[in-house]
Amino acid sequence: MVMPLQDLKVLDLSRVLSGPFCTMVLGDLGADVLKVEEPEKGDEIRMWPPFVGGESCAFLSVNRNKRSMTLDLKTEQGKEVFFQLVASRDVLVENFRPGTMERLGLGFDAIHKVNPRMVYCGISGYGRTGPYRNKPGYDAIVQAHGGLMSITGEPGRSSVRAGVSLVDLSSGLLGAIGILAALKAREITGRGQIVDTSLFESLISLLTYHAQNYLSSGVMPQKLGTAHPSAVPYQSFNVRDGALMVGALNQKFWIKLCEALSLTELVDDPRFRTAQDRSTNRVDLSELLSRALAGFDMAEASRLLEAAGVPYAPINDIGQVFRDPQALFREMLIQIAHPKLGKISLVGIPIKLSETPGGINRPPPMLGQHTEEVLKELNYGEAQVIALKQKKAV
Amino acid sequence: MVMPLQDLKVLDLSRVLSGPFCTMVLGDLGADVLKVEEPEKGDEIRMWPPFVGGESCAFLSVNRNKRSMTLDLKTEQGKEVFFQLVASRDVLVENFRPGTMERLGLGFDAIHKVNPRMVYCGISGYGRTGPYRNKPGYDAIVQAHGGLMSITGEPGRSSVRAGVSLVDLSSGLLGAIGILAALKAREITGRGQIVDTSLFESLISLLTYHAQNYLSSGVMPQKLGTAHPSAVPYQSFNVRDGALMVGALNQKFWIKLCEALSLTELVDDPRFRTAQDRSTNRVDLSELLSRALAGFDMAEASRLLEAAGVPYAPINDIGQVFRDPQALFREMLIQIAHPKLGKISLVGIPIKLSETPGGINRPPPMLGQHTEEVLKELNYGEAQVIALKQKKAV
């Protein structure tokens, strides 16, 4: 069966989250991803707790559809194997600090001499140039540095971190877009190039309307808890046995919400007549709605809002997400056999293609599981493989 | 100059945030993006406050590098123009509720008859199939539904929303990846197909290690404020004049942090000796470090941590982000002339390509600014354009 990226061969030197997420997205769509790891230790995410059967859950989460080989890039023999891989692949992904690959003698220029068509994607904390190019980048550090934390949390209280590592993950997605764009450019120019993206820039690009509100009108975005800067009511409310989000994002939804909660008198209340009125009097409105919703349990409130067609959702925990009928229908929970752990559950593929869908064909690999297989593909003989092992190059 | 996606023609029917962000990322890399808007009203994000010179900042934030034409897709004349656009373009992007395009007679099958090579990307709340396919999807509703809100906030307090619309935005990025993958598949199959992604699935894919921790080990992720589930200390601390994030993510950084703060006695304290110890005794450790850092101001604390090489960052507000030397060096703030507003500032491009970079060549368009230009490209004569206007089809 055709997979959309079946002709793409990726050499993946990346570790932890941003790069591995990038290459996993490519692998889910059919790319052949070869993960190169340091002998003995491997990708440092393999050390992140919690563990199941000795394997890190975090590692399992971002490494399916990849083969793993070990390679010591500091040895001469390791470099020799590396450049053979470079010669036979389309894309390299790394997320070391800028300059690391050059210090190893493996920078873009050296790679380009061996394979002028190779696309080189470097995902760094702050980008390959500029005063902070050498700063290490970590998701939560950049959530602070790039402004996200200042707008996440309850009003008047400390900032909090967005619960997912969205800075790492969005930089991985932007890296994947940059790689696919550079491959399009290669069809025109015949040559590969550097895709240079970073955690910091990814986050800045996600600021979108917050950034523009500030840049154009001087409005400084603030922490609003669950609420929205302009749409009101669009926030969470407690019910007797939990909490749910309600979004009456326009006049139609607002009227339906009042009807659903038997609060029709609010529709004509001059404090709440227009979107602007509701925004101005958001504290009063929030109190009235909180009181009304506190009288329901989750099932009743859901039934009323569902019937009225008002956007809402329970504040699900992660367990509830993976029991959700839509998540299951859309195959966002899949199972695959793992060489050591038996059958394991993984998150499914969020991009569905109607004719040439992706798929999950390989479980997350054990460290170096495919070292010999890959060396044989490079025409290394048995004796040469043994020699590489003895020299600890693989 | 070559732009990586210069051969790509996108027909963009999408509104608000997810679809427009998707097509902006493609436009930044050179795609020719034609934004089709409802006559008179246009994209509903044009109504989002705050406004500058009558233009919505939110609209400005996600629509550069696009032309705008108006088209009433409910009229026969509008549909005729639509199918001419379909015939001459590669990609269509829409984010209506699933079924809307079919009801208008503009679904994938009708499009495919006119242009079998067209890639059709639908970004919806919950996907084009399954029990919730008709549910409206909004960023914060899905932040709740998909589990993000349950892990964002202070421990023991209410959940909060991640401050950026990351669900909308990540679904846009996944849509862009799906489009570029479907274009690769087209090189093999000769045909376009449907790219079906959603806010809900995007968020589930971003859960990564949280999802896997739960699925493999049963650990239910919790709200942790600014802290991290396994690395300790990796959280925010108040200083005299603000707050900053500090991440001592490994043993080396931990020792350097203790030295920087003149707390070397903590290195040998049995409560904090290993990563596991520090995680177990995170409350004690947090208190000790909070007390130490409270004595510094931001400048002193930054100088000490910088000199020690410990990852840290100030919790910047959005204004500070756009004065940051790295953001400026990396051209994350750019200026462009707008037909009505004069010179405006926009966020720069987060993906840097070394040989064929993208660029910002068009300011966000006025509603219908390019209607006549596009009709003329389709060989409509002056009289025909006037007729379309009289019938309010454009």
The list of chain A residues with pLDDT below 50 reads none
| pLDDT score at A231 | 85
Shortest Cα–Cα distance, B84 to chain A (Å): 24
Pairing of strands A312-314, A242-247: antiparallel
Q: Which amino acid is at A282?
A: R
- Mutate one of A64, A120, A174, A177 to test the B interface: name it (highest B CB count within 10 A): A177
Check if B140 contacts A (Cβ < 8 Å): yes
Residue B168 among the catalytic residues: yes
Residues A161-171 have pLDDT tens digits of 999 999 999 99
| Domain boundaries, position A56 | 9-206+331-390
Assess if residue B86 is contained within a domain. Answer: yes
Count of the separate structural domains present in chain B? 2
Assess if residue B2 is contained within a domain. Answer: no
Assess if residue B115 is contained within a domain. Answer: yes
Shortest Cα–Cα distance, B337 to chain A (Å): 13
The residue out of B265, B295, B316 marking a domain boundary is B316
- The answer to whether A347 contacts B204, with C-beta atoms less than 8 Å apart, is yes
Cβ–Cβ under 8 Å, residues A71 and A104: no
| Residue B266 shares a structural domain with residue B135 | no
pTM of the prediction? 0.98
- The answer to whether A201 contacts B48, with C-beta atoms less than 8 Å apart, is no
- The answer to whether B185 contacts A2, with C-beta atoms less than 8 Å apart, is yes
Cβ–Cβ under 8 Å, residues B163 and B191: no
| Residue A255 shares a structural domain with residue A195 | no
Check if B17 contacts A (Cβ < 8 Å): yes
Which of these is catalytic: A43, A90, A168, A196?
Answer: A168
**B197, B206, B230: residue with CB nearest A49:** B230
The residue out of B272, B294, B316 marking a domain boundary is B316
Per-window interface: A 251-310 vs B, CB < 8 A? 276
| Residue B240 shares a structural domain with residue B334 | no
DSSP A148: T
Assess if residue B131 is contained within a domain. Answer: yes
DSSP B207: T
Cβ–Cβ under 8 Å, residues B115 and B86: yes
Shortest Cα–Cα distance, A335 to chain B (Å): 11
**A201, A209, A313: residue with CB nearest B141:** A313
Q: Half-sphere exposure (CA, 13 Å, Cβ side) for B176?
A: 31
CA distance B196 to A166: 22
| Residue A339 shares a structural domain with residue A303 | no
Residues B204-220 have pLDDT tens digits of 999 999 999 999 999 99
- The answer to whether A62 contacts B209, with C-beta atoms less than 8 Å apart, is yes
Which phi and psi (to 5°) does residue A70 adopt?
-95, 150
| Residue B121 shares a structural domain with residue B145 | yes
Cβ–Cβ under 8 Å, residues B146 and B140: no
| Residue A348 shares a structural domain with residue A241 | no
- The answer to whether A225 contacts B145, with C-beta atoms less than 8 Å apart, is no
Assess if residue A228 is contained within a domain. Answer: no
CA of A267: how far to CAs of A179, A229, A245, A258, in Å? Answer: 51, 21, 20, 7
Which of these is catalytic: B32, B139, B168, B196?
Answer: B168
Assess if residue B220 is contained within a domain. Answer: no
Q: Half-sphere exposure (CA, 13 Å, Cβ side) for B95?
A: 30
Could you count the other beta carbons within 10 Å of the beta carbon of residue A256? 17
| Residue A180 shares a structural domain with residue A34 | yes
Whichever domain contains B280, its CATH number is 3.30.1540.10
| Residue B180 shares a structural domain with residue B257 | no
CA distance A115 to A85: 10
Assess if residue B96 is contained within a domain. Answer: yes
Smallest CA-to-CA distance from A6 within A366, A353, A379, A347 is with: A353
Q: How sure is the predictor about B49, in pLDDT bands with cuts at 50, 70 and 90?
A: confident
| pLDDT score at B193 | 98
**How far from the centroid of its chain's Cα atoms is residue A11's Cα?**
19
| Residue B287 shares a structural domain with residue B184 | no
**A164, A211, A330: residue with CB nearest B206:** A164
| Residue A250 shares a structural domain with residue A294 | yes
| Residue B270 shares a structural domain with residue B189 | no
Q: How far apart are the first and last CA of chain A?
A: 33
Q: How far apart are the first and last CA of chain B?
A: 33
| Residue B114 shares a structural domain with residue B201 | yes
The residue out of B286, B316, B346 marking a domain boundary is B316
Q: Which residues of A touch B130 (CB under 8 A)?
A: 325-326, 329-330
Residues B223-255 have pLDDT tens digits of 999 998 778 999 999 999 999 999 998 899 999
- The answer to whether A353 contacts B146, with C-beta atoms less than 8 Å apart, is no
Assess if residue B221 is contained within a domain. Answer: no
Whichever domain contains B174, its CATH number is 3.40.50.10540
Residues B265-322 have pLDDT tens digits of 999 999 999 988 998 999 999 999 999 999 999 999 999 999 999 999 999 999 999 9
- The answer to whether A144 contacts B169, with C-beta atoms less than 8 Å apart, is no
| pLDDT score at A49 | 86
